């Protein structure tokens, strides 16, 4: 009686309601964009909207099974679940390639993408591991162990290759950072290995996430300046500077200016420490710029094309940049109020102006049909879901539940932000579905199961003592 009562009394109905509304809106959009006049029934499973309905119903059935299982199962069996998905990630590498990637395991006429379910298993194991740590146990070994939980599936996914899912896995770093698992212990050991140096903490490790974004920004700047060449013949040298040297020269200038200012503003000891930090930053920045410059040349052609087009290094609106170009045109054509349901002309499957408009570019037909107003409603729903997930995370008694909730929030945010960015030209096209909207069985099942596990954990939160 207690379990049945918890399902209804403690279920987070606002989040559950937002989830159902999102599923209905997604199904309606798929039906509209892939509509076939010769097979108008939504129950026609030979059509994409019929199959999408099947996947939604099957996902809801899996959600029911999740609620029938005691929530403690997910914590106790986190390791076997994780190892099972790793096994599938290895098996999929030997499967035939689909669109150039070994990412699918064929089951009859359907295919399953193990990488989608690896997000759930990684979130569960990371939650299990972090929840078992105390503040005193956050050392080099624990940071490396938590990082390994992420890096192993990330490495296997990169071998497929699946750049989109690989990027999504970096969202777990924010969860680690939020739970206090910084890279400070690792960097502290490295710094203290230098003779005569003894520090109790490092600023770099405690601010890993901001530094990560700074390095990402520097990498983008390097790529933007990759093709820039400045002739220094005016000085009689005949030397040209490319992007790498521009960045390196700029950093040296900052180095010298900082040294002159520090002579008057700080003590000798503080100047020495600051110059060590600046020197390390200069070397790291130069090395990163060179690595990006050389590593960019090692990428596959289609990967280089996408990055160059996204950064505006070249234009090809009717060739390699066709998808992104037509997606932005479809979104813009919706105007303020949209063209109306079923009246998308640029992004419909029938027009074929926007390839994959029912999967990765599902936002295009929705924006074209409902316009700016509809997009605001969609954004409100997603941000409301994220808000509710954070509320759920903060009211948990068990650390396992809290960490898992934050993992779900970050995964959902990554998918939402990158997918919308792809559709409006703010992010490169890397094949990330829009949660609960994009056509596809694997993504629908994985997101639904992920969400229902969270709802189940929250429904039984009062049964947990810690």
Predicted confidence (pLDDT) at residue 277 exceeds the cutoff of 70: no
Q: What is the domain range of residue 170? A: 2-181+314-463
- Give the pLDDT of residue 400: 92
| 196 vs 183, higher pLDDT | 183
- Please state the domain count of the chain: 1
Q: Which tokens in the block code for residue 118?
A: 């690896």
In a domain, 216, yes or no: no
Are residues 346 and 33 in contact, defined by beta-carbon separation less than 8 angstroms?
A: no
- Give the pLDDT of residue 234: 44
In a domain, 20, yes or no: yes
In a domain, 304, yes or no: no
Question: Crossing angle for the helix pair 441-459 and 114-131, nearest 10 degrees?
Answer: 20
Predicted confidence (pLDDT) at residue 1 exceeds the cutoff of 70: no
In a domain, 260, yes or no: no
Task: Give percent above pLDDT 90 in the chain.
Answer: 25
Lowest-confidence pick of 32-41, 302-311, 435-444: 302-311
In a domain, 204, yes or no: no
In a domain, 127, yes or no: yes
**Of 266, 227, 270, nearest in space to 246 by CA:** 227
Task: Give percent above pLDDT 70 in the chain.
Answer: 63
Lowest-confidence pick of 57-66, 293-302, 369-378, 384-393: 293-302
In a domain, 116, yes or no: yes
Q: What is the per-residue pLDDT across 48-90, written as a single tens digit (0 to 9) for each?
A: 889 999 999 999 999 889 888 888 888 899 999 999 999 999 9
In a domain, 306, yes or no: no
- Give the pLDDT of residue 318: 55
Predicted confidence (pLDDT) at residue 383 exceeds the cutoff of 70: yes
Banded pLDDT at 239 (limits 50, 70, 90): very low
- In this prediction the pTM is 0.77
- pLDDT winner (highest mean) among 218-232, 270-284, 305-319, 352-366: 352-366
- Give the pLDDT of residue 132: 85
For residues 250 and 228, give the distance between their C-alpha atoms in angstroms, rounded to a whole number.
14
Predicted confidence (pLDDT) at residue 303 exceeds the cutoff of 60: no
């Amino acid at each position: 009686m207690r379990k049945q009562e918890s399902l209804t009394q403690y279920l987070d109905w606002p989040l559950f309601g937002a989830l159902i509304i999102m599923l209905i809106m997604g199904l309606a959009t798929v039906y509209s964009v892939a509509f076939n006049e010769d097979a108008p029934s939504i129950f026609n499973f030979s059509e994409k909207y019929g199959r999408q309905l099947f996947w939604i119903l099957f996902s809801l059935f899996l959600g029911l099974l999740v609620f029938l299982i005691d929530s403690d199962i997910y914590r106790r069996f986190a390791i076997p679940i994780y190892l099972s998905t790793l096994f599938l990630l290895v098996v999929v590498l030997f499967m035939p390639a689909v669109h150039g990637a070994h990412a699918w395991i064929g089951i009859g006429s359907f295919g399953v993408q193990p990488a989608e379910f690896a997000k759930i298993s990684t979130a569960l194991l990371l939650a299990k591991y972090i929840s078992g740590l105390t503040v005193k146990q956050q050392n080099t070994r624990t940071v490396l162990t938590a990082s390994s939980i992420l890096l192993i599936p990330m490495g296997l996914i990169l071998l497929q290759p699946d750049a989109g899912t690989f990027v999504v896995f970096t969202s777990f770093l924010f969860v680690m950072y939020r739970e206090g698992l910084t890279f400070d212990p690792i960097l502290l050991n490295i710094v203290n290995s230098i003779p005569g140096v003894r520090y109790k903490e490092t600023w770099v490790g405690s601010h890993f996430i901001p530094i990560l974004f700074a390095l990402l920004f520097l990498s983008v700047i390097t790529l933007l300046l990759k093709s820039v060449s400045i002739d220094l013949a005016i000085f009689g040298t005949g030397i040209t500077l490319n992007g790498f040297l521009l960045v390196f020269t700029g950093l040296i200038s900052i180095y010298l200016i900082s040294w002159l200012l520090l002579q008057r503003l700080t003590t000798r000891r503080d100047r020495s420490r600051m110059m060590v930090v600046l020197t390390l930053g200069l070397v790291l920045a130069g090395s990163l710029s060179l690595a990006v410059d050389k590593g960019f040349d090692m990428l596959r052609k289609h990967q280089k094309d996408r990055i160059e087009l996204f950064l505006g290094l070249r234009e090809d609106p009717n060739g390699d940049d066709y998808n992104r170009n037509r997606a932005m045109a479809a979104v813009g054509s919706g105007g303020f109020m949209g063209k109306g349901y079923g009246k998308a002309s640029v992004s419909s499957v029938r027009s074929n102006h926007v390839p994959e408009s029912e999967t990765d570019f599902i936002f295009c037909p929705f924006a074209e049909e409902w316009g700016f107003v509809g997009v605001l409603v969609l954004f409100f729903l997603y941000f409301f879901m994220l808000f509710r997930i954070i509320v759920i995370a903060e009211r948990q008694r068990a650390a396992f539940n809290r960490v898992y909730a934050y993992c779900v929030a970050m995964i959902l945010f990554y998918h939402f932000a990158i997918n919308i960015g792809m559709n409006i030209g703010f992010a490169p096209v890397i094949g990330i579905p829009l949660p609960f909207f994009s056509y596809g069985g694997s993504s629908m099942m994985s997101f639904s199961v992920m969400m229902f596990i969270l709802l189940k954990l929250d429904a039984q939160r009062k049964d947990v003592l810690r």
